[in-house]
């Protein structure tokens, strides 16, 4: 595994204190987003759901045992995956993989082959858009739902008292705006069918974009 991505060493304690801070509340909003994303495949039973950048499993509380054929979780951070496994031990369908989505793309594609829903919330910036497109362009089946962040104040990291801990992560990331993502997804053969905005306490905006494979006409 290539350890150039600093997410593999960010302590969970720092992540949770920052994301859950009362002026940030991103954990709460991301859980709500996962709940909404699961509604995109209500016509599939039982579905295979894949969460890229699953961290500690936030959002899995919206899935009841037995509701999915398989839940695939991927993250680069072993500590997050350990916490996720312990928190959601009641979900026997949950399979977790420590994987670097920047350097182990072929492995990811193989594992995601049967997914009905693939989510990538606040992930693309950190693995870079080109790597994300390399993965999903090889998948023909899943609904793909991604969440990106819009910063009206121009500050990528919310103020929580822990923002300095994310300096290296910000240097590693590459901004992914909505227009660039839409263009890349279109080129990869996916059409947008849903868009939702979620306003955070500090006025930052999460934008959820839902995609399906474009139908090929004979």
Check if the beta carbon of residue 194 is closer than 8 Å to that of residue 213.
Answer: no
Q: Which residue has the higher pLDDT, 16 or 158?
A: 16
Q: Which residue has the higher pLDDT, 101 or 165?
A: 101
Q: Tell whether 74 is covered by a domain.
A: yes
159 forms beta bridges with none
Q: Tell whether 126 is covered by a domain.
A: yes
Q: Tell whether 44 is covered by a domain.
A: yes
Residue span of the structural domain in which 128 resides: 6-213
Q: How much is the mean pLDDT over the chain?
A: 94
Q: Tell whether 42 is covered by a domain.
A: yes
Annotate 90-142 with three-state secondary structure: CCCCEEEEECCCCCCHHHHHHHCCCCCEEEEECCHHHHCHHHHHHHHCCCCCC
CA distance linking residue 149 with residue 94, whole number of Å: 27
The number of folded domains in the chain is 1
Cα dihedral 120/124/126/129 (nearest 10): 150
Percentage of residues of the chain with pLDDT beyond 70: 97
Question: What is the pTM (predicted TM-score) of this model?
Answer: 0.94
Q: Tell whether 33 is covered by a domain.
A: yes
Residue 27 has pLDDT above 90, yes or no: yes
Q: Tell whether 1 is covered by a domain.
A: no
CA distance linking residue 26 with residue 19, whole number of Å: 5
Neighbours of 50 (CB within 10 A): 27
Q: Tell whether 218 is covered by a domain.
A: no
Across residues 116-136, what is the average pLDDT?
A: 98
CATH no. for residue 27?
Answer: 3.40.50.150
Across residues 141-164, what is the average pLDDT?
A: 87
What is residue 106's predicted lDDT score, i.e. its pLDDT?
98
Tell me the per-residue pLDDT of 148-158, one tens digit each, with 9 for 90 and over: 999 887 777 78
Q: Tell whether 151 is covered by a domain.
A: yes
Residue 169 has pLDDT above 70, yes or no: yes
Residue 218 has pLDDT above 90, yes or no: no
């Amino acid at each position: 595994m290539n350890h150039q991505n600093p997410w593999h060493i960010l302590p969970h304690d720092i992540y949770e204190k920052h994301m859950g801070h009362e002026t940030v509340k991103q954990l709460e909003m991301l859980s709500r987003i996962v709940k909404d994303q699961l509604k995109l495949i209500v016509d599939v039973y039982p579905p295979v759901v894949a969460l890229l950048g699953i961290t500690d499993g936030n959002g899995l509380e919206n899935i009841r045992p037995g509701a999915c054929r398989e839940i695939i979780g991927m993250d680069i951070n072993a500590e997050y995956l350990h916490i996720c496994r312990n928190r959601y031990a009641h979900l026997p369908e949950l399979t977790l993989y420590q994987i670097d989505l920047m350097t182990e793309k072929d492995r990811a594609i193989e594992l995601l082959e049967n997914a009905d829903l693939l989510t990538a919330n606040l992930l693309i910036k950190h693995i870079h858009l080109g790597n994300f497109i390399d993965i999903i362009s090889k998948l023909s089946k899943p609904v793909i739902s991604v969440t990106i962040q819009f910063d009206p104040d121009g500050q990528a990291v919310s103020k929580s008292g822990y923002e300095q801990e994310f300096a290296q992560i910000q240097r590693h990331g590459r901004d992914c705006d909505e227009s660039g993502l839409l263009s890349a997804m279109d080129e990869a053969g996916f059409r947008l069918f849903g868009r939702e905005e979620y306003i955070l306490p500090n006025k930052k905006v999460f934008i959820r974009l839902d995609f399906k494979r474009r139908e090929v006409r004979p």
